[in-house]
């Protein structure tokens, strides 16, 4: 089988609490990667979600870092990039989406499109990612399915093509219809809270058995709904889907496993294999090119606390990966030997013997790699960078034990290289110590937890009054003058780029409106 054509690399995106990690578990369950699914809710059973490997994730029942989950199913190699759902960790999700070839957008059937859904969808739209839509929590009372589809189309401008359709008896989800096959899937609840595969009876929709199982009233109402869909819903078109212009849509319940298997089967048929990847000079790289190329989209320290290791997540864009190969880090010009490469099932790892375009490989890193680095065997490729986004919360780090300063510096440096926190430097605001900045305040909790448990540095934070940061380019004298203003300050980031911190949006708007010799950037200009 064509090794590139058999790869499927995708991310799952959603608003918090839509059930993303639960759906991830069920895809692993139905894909055969695990035999018993955990869930972030099943505390009594002591089974945590496979993708939530960090101690803090298991304690709080939320995902705070992206995970890579790789498994084989149906002759394909699936690279599932599980992302944090909480909006405070959206920057990690943005970076991970750059490594995906398609996305699964998960919606809560009671809420439809929510704020975080909109933000993540815009990232997908910018990359023209093909998007599958899965309307989750069908086991609970929710909005009318037709209204949910209308909401997606109105809010996001994304036409939906229903592939499956829910069948209800009152508020009770009986099953789904697979419209293309004309089949009815009737589900039986299990007593293990969805930890194992659900029993399904599949019958032709136009059969006496289907009518007997549903009853005449439900059956006739279902036929009316399907007839309406046939007339009004957007038909599925693969070319439009690959261009990000139509979304195949599914209904179900990840918690009870209803509707998961029909979705997975369709996904395996229609999800795109790796496609050409854009570069800074505009010449895309064909995934079947012989040269080994790819980029670092994530760095994670201390995945194995016993070894204090540091892994760089390398998305392969072309060529064949083999252990021991040497590539060039395009940013630094230095050679990188690809020693001890590994592939993942969240925290669990195994040695890689070979990998191809679409795969994600873990590289042991001693601090030489950064998020966004391009690695290439011919040195002539530079993929578009992974952006740094403007943070919104700022603080000084205060040590209870000054003798732990070197440990603090090392921990902050490594966490900033992961993208878990941004560092800024200003003698006026913090002396020689760095300022820490994040997109969402929950990131501060993760920072303090990891500093204490991974680096042995108990610390506390002193919030600063700034609310926005903008990278600034232009006249240096003007930058210095602006940095001395009452409601703003000039700092430097970890790459010594000037950044203006603002105490309010009004202060930033004043600079934009009155200063022609400098330009403010929401995203770091060199990334």
Q: What is the CATH number of the domain that holds 461?
A: 3.30.70.3280
> Could you tell me if 341 and 398 lie in one domain?
no
Task: Tell me whether residue 494 is in a domain.
Answer: yes
Domain total in the chain: 3
Average pLDDT of 205-223? 93
> Could you tell me if 44 and 137 lie in one domain?
yes
Q: Which two tokens stand for residue 216?
A: 């005449």
According to the model, what pLDDT value does residue 439 have?
A: 80
> Could you tell me if 247 and 304 lie in one domain?
no
According to the model, what pLDDT value does residue 370 have?
A: 85
According to the model, what pLDDT value does residue 40 have?
A: 33
According to the model, what pLDDT value does residue 193 have?
A: 54
Q: Are 337 and 312 in contact (CB under 8 A)?
A: no
Q: Which two tokens stand for residue 252?
A: 């179900």
Task: Tell me whether residue 447 is in a domain.
Answer: yes
According to the model, what pLDDT value does residue 185 have?
A: 92
Average pLDDT of 381-405? 84
> Could you tell me if 157 and 261 lie in one domain?
yes
Distance between CA atoms of residues 388 and 251, nearest Å: 35
Average pLDDT of 380-407? 84
According to the model, what pLDDT value does residue 46 have?
A: 39
At 316-335, the pLDDT tens digits run 999 999 888 899 999 889 99
> Could you tell me if 356 and 441 lie in one domain?
no
Chosen domain end from 376, 402, 423: 376
Chosen domain end from 331, 349, 376: 376
> Could you tell me if 397 and 350 lie in one domain?
no
> Could you tell me if 434 and 367 lie in one domain?
no
According to the model, what pLDDT value does residue 486 have?
A: 83
Task: Tell me whether residue 276 is in a domain.
Answer: no
Task: Tell me whether residue 179 is in a domain.
Answer: no
Average pLDDT of 280-302? 87
> Could you tell me if 257 and 313 lie in one domain?
no
According to the model, what pLDDT value does residue 215 have?
A: 92
Higher-pLDDT residue of 429, 462: 462
Task: Tell me whether residue 206 is in a domain.
Answer: no
Instruction: Give residue 490's pLDDT band: very low, low, confident or very high (50, 70, 90).
Output: very high
Task: Tell me whether residue 412 is in a domain.
Answer: yes
Assign 204 to helix, strand or coil: strand
> Could you tell me if 355 and 410 lie in one domain?
no
> Could you tell me if 363 and 443 lie in one domain?
no
According to the model, what pLDDT value does residue 101 have?
A: 95
Task: Tell me whether residue 96 is in a domain.
Answer: yes
The answer to whether residue 364 scores a pLDDT higher than 80 is yes
Assign 518 to helix, strand or coil: strand
Q: Which two tokens stand for residue 249?
A: 């849509």
According to the model, what pLDDT value does residue 492 have?
A: 92
HSE-up of 378 (CA within 13 Å, CB side)? 11
Distance between CA atoms of residues 193 and 187, nearest Å: 14
At 46-61, the pLDDT tens digits run 344 444 434 544 444 4
Q: Are 50 and 64 in contact (CB under 8 A)?
A: no
> Could you tell me if 364 and 481 lie in one domain?
no
HSE-up of 506 (CA within 13 Å, CB side)? 2
DSSP letter, residue 15: S
- The domain in which residue 509 lies consists of 393-521
Phi, psi of 191 (to 5 degrees): -95, 5
Distance between CA atoms of residues 81 and 67, nearest Å: 6
The answer to whether residue 527 scores a pLDDT higher than 70 is no
Instruction: Give residue 4's pLDDT band: very low, low, confident or very high (50, 70, 90).
Output: very high
Q: Are 252 and 164 in contact (CB under 8 A)?
A: yes
Task: Tell me whether residue 200 is in a domain.
Answer: no
Lowest mean pLDDT among 113-122, 156-165, 315-324, 496-505: 113-122
> Could you tell me if 130 and 244 lie in one domain?
yes
The answer to whether residue 34 scores a pLDDT higher than 80 is no
Q: Please give the angle made by the CA atoms of 20, 315 and 325, to the nearest 5 degrees.
A: 145
The answer to whether residue 104 scores a pLDDT higher than 50 is yes
According to the model, what pLDDT value does residue 98 have?
A: 87
Report the CATH number that the domain containing residue 53 is assigned in CATH. 3.40.50.300
The answer to whether residue 88 scores a pLDDT higher than 60 is no
The answer to whether residue 32 scores a pLDDT higher than 70 is no
Report the CATH number that the domain containing residue 354 is assigned in CATH. 2.40.30.10
Q: Which two tokens stand for residue 267?
A: 């996904």
Average pLDDT of the chain, as a whole number: 83
The answer to whether residue 78 scores a pLDDT higher than 80 is yes
């Amino acid at each position: 089988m064509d090794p590139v054509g058999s790869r499927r690399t995708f991310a799952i995106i959603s608003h918090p609490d839509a059930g993303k990690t639960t759906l991830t578990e069920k895809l692993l369950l139905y894909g055969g990667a695990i035999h018993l699914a955990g869930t972030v809710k099943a505390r009594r059973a002591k089974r945590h979600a496979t993708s939530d490997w960090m101690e803090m994730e298991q304690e709080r029942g939320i995902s705070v870092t992206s995970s890579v989950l790789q498994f084989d199913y149906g002759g394909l190699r699936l690279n599932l990039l599980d992302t944090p759902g909480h909006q405070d960790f959206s920057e990690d999700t943005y970076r991970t989406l750059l490594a995906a070839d398609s996305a699964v957008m998960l919606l809560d059937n009671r809420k439809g499109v929510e704020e975080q859904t909109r933000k993540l969808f815009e990232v997908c739209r910018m990359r023209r990612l093909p998007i599958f839509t899965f309307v989750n929590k069908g086991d609970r009372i929710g909005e009318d399915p037709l209204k949910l589809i209308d909401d997606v189309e109105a809010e996001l401008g994304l036409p939906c093509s229903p592939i499956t359709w829910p069948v209800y008896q009152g508020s009770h989800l009986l099953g789904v219809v697979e419209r293309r096959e004309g089949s009815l899937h009737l589900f039986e609840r299990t007593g293990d809270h969805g930890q194992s595969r659900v029993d399904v009876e599949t019958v032709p929709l136009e059969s006496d058995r289907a009518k007997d199982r549903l009853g005449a009233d439900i059956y006739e109402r279902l036929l009316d709904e399907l007839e309406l869909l046939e007339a009004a819903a957007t038909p599925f078109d693969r070319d439009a889907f690959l261009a990000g212009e139509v979304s195949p849509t599914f209904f179900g319940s990840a918690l009870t496993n209803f509707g998961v298997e029909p979705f997975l089967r369709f996904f395996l048929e229609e999800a795109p294999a790796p496609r050409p990847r854009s570069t800074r000079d505009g010449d895309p790289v064909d995934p079947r090119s012989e040269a080994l190329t790819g980029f670092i989209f994530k760095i994670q320290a201390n995945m194995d606390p016993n070894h204090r290791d540091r892994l760089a997540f390398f998305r392969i864009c072309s060529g064949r990966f083999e252990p021991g190969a040497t590539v060039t880090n395009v940013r630094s010009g230095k050679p990188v030997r690809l020693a001890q490469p590994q592939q993942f099932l969240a925290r669990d790892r195994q040695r890689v013997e070979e990998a191809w375009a679409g795969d994600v490989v873990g590289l042991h890193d001693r601090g030489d790699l950064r998020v966004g680095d391009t690695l290439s065997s011919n040195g002539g490729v530079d993929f578009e960078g992974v952006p740094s986004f403007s943070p919104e919360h700022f603080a000084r780090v205060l040590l209870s034990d000054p003798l732990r300063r070197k440990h603090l510096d090392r921990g902050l440096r490594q966490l900033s290289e992961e993208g878990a926190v941004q560092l800024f430097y200003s003698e006026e605001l913090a002396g020689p110590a760095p300022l820490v900045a994040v997109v969402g305040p929950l990131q501060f909790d993760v920072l303090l937890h990891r500093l204490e448990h991974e680096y042995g540095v108990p610390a506390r934070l002193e919030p600063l009054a700034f609310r926005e940061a903008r990278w600034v380019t232009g006249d240096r004298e003007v930058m210095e003058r602006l940095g001395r203003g009452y409601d703003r300050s000039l700092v430097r980031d970890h790459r010594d780029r000037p950044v203006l911190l603002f105490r309010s949006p009004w202060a930033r708007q004043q600079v934009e409106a009155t200063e022609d010799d400098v330009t403010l950037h929401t995203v770091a200009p060199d990334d």
